[in-house]
Amino acid sequence: MRIVVLDGHTLNPGDNPWDPIAAYGELTVYDRTVPDQIIEHAMDAEIVMTNKTPLDAETLERLPNLKYVGVLATGCNVVDLAAARRLGIPVCNVPEYGTNSVAQHVFSLILALCNRTVHHDQLIREGEWTRRNDFSFWDGPLIELSGKCLGIVGYGRIGHRVAELGRSFGMKIATYSPDPAPSLHIEPIHWKSLDEIFAESDVVSLHCPQTEDNVGMVNRRLLSLMKPTAFLINTARGGLINEQDLADALNTGTLAGAGLDVLSVEPPTDDNPLLTSKNTILTPHIAWAALEARKRLTAVAADNIAAFLRGRPANVMNGVG
């Protein structure tokens, strides 16, 4: 079985061996694959694995040996699922590997905004503490989370874990999900409409997949409902947010700050308005990337291949199998 990984560098930059996947065939790993290399790299493969390298309908149709696509992530929007289904190719993802890692990153962003951590660190390095002559100083409001409302948009495994962590800080939890998993309910929890989440929450955290229907859903209208003291957190997908609308809201004080691990184009172009917006903390899509989480991802991706080879594909996202 010939296996090709199209973009393996982020999953394994040298600390996360490919052995679990290599056990199932002749493995070739490319650190990166640009669009005009996809066919060349994947032509002879029966199993193709991708994280962010796109596999559209035309590409899939030009890979005659392809029998299986493994997505090295949870989100499958990089693969044309309908085209793969038409071709009889199962597309399998890794649904649960980074729950704790992502939830932890959510709170790293929330706490950085509440305590203005990065800002104060920079002020100290610029000599401001020395100039103040006091044992303590702060520049801007410092915020205690206890008693505040955490609004969670999308209530799957990660949303549920974020809710648990929010409760440990004494926060009230409000959630919105078009299809919540009953097994993930915790009490007390308040189910709200999307408008209510944005209007009533002190922190809104996005945890929903990106679909054709929700691209840019966090727009000027929704942002206008938010408290001017509120924060927006996004560790899901950058395309959920209209980035110009968010930058405008931050720059005009419609909301107090944003913590973003994802952007609509990654890496961002120089003209992305969030690179210069006020009180914005950006991280380079690393919420998923703790070594422990990456090792789990590799192990589940290997298990998915094993299930496919047994004739019973697991974690299928396009109904083939």
Same domain for 219 and 120, yes or no, is yes
Dihedral pair phi/psi, residue 70, rounded to 5°: -110, 125
Return the percentage of the chain with pLDDT > 90, whole number.
91
pTM for the full predicted model = 0.89
Same domain for 83 and 111, yes or no, is no
Same domain for 76 and 198, yes or no, is no
Domain containing 231: what range?
Answer: 99-282
Give the pLDDT confidence of 5-37 residue by residue, as tens digits: 999 999 999 999 999 999 999 999 999 999 999
How many domains is the chain built from? Answer: 2
CATH of the domain at 58: 3.40.50.720
Confidence band for 129, pLDDT divided at 50, 70 and 90: very high
Give the pLDDT confidence of 233-249 residue by residue, as tens digits: 999 999 999 999 999 99
pLDDT on residue 212: 84
Same domain for 222 and 131, yes or no, is yes
Residue 318 in any domain: the answer is no
Collapsing DSSP states into helix, strand and coil, what is residue 195?
helix
Same domain for 161 and 271, yes or no, is yes
Residue 268's Cβ-count burial label (10 Å; 0-12, 13-18, 19+) is middle
Distance, CA of 313 to CA of 316 (rounded, Å): 6
Residue 36 in any domain: the answer is yes
Catalytic residues: 237, 266, 285
pLDDT on residue 181: 56
Residue 91 in any domain: the answer is yes
Same domain for 67 and 126, yes or no, is no
Residue 79 has pLDDT above 70, yes or no: yes
Same domain for 128 and 174, yes or no, is yes
Same domain for 249 and 110, yes or no, is yes
Residue 320 in any domain: the answer is no
Same domain for 127 and 206, yes or no, is yes
Task: Give the CA count within 13 Å in the CB-facing half-sphere of 97.
Answer: 27
pLDDT on residue 245: 98
pLDDT on residue 185: 57
Confidence band for 96, pLDDT divided at 50, 70 and 90: confident
Give the pLDDT confidence of 206-218 residue by residue, as tens digits: 999 888 889 999 9
Same domain for 7 and 56, yes or no, is yes
Residue 317 in any domain: the answer is no
Residue 314 in any domain: the answer is no
Residue 138 in any domain: the answer is yes
104, 164, 165, 180 from 184: Cα distances, Å:
18, 10, 14, 8
Phi/psi-derived region of residue 319, left when phi > 0, alpha when psi is between -120 and 50, beta in every other case: left
pLDDT on residue 220: 97
Give the pLDDT confidence of 257-290 residue by residue, as tens digits: 999 999 999 999 999 999 999 999 999 999 999 9
Same domain for 170 and 299, yes or no, is no
**Beta-carbon neighbour count of residue 237 at 10 Å?**
21
Residue 186 has pLDDT above 60, yes or no: no
pLDDT on residue 182: 54
Residue 319 in any domain: the answer is no
Give the pLDDT confidence of 105-120 residue by residue, as tens digits: 999 999 999 999 999 9
Give the pLDDT confidence of 278-287 residue by residue, as tens digits: 999 999 999 9
Give the pLDDT confidence of 148-177 residue by residue, as tens digits: 999 999 998 899 999 999 999 999 999 998
Q: What is the mean pLDDT of the chain?
A: 94
Same domain for 118 and 76, yes or no, is no
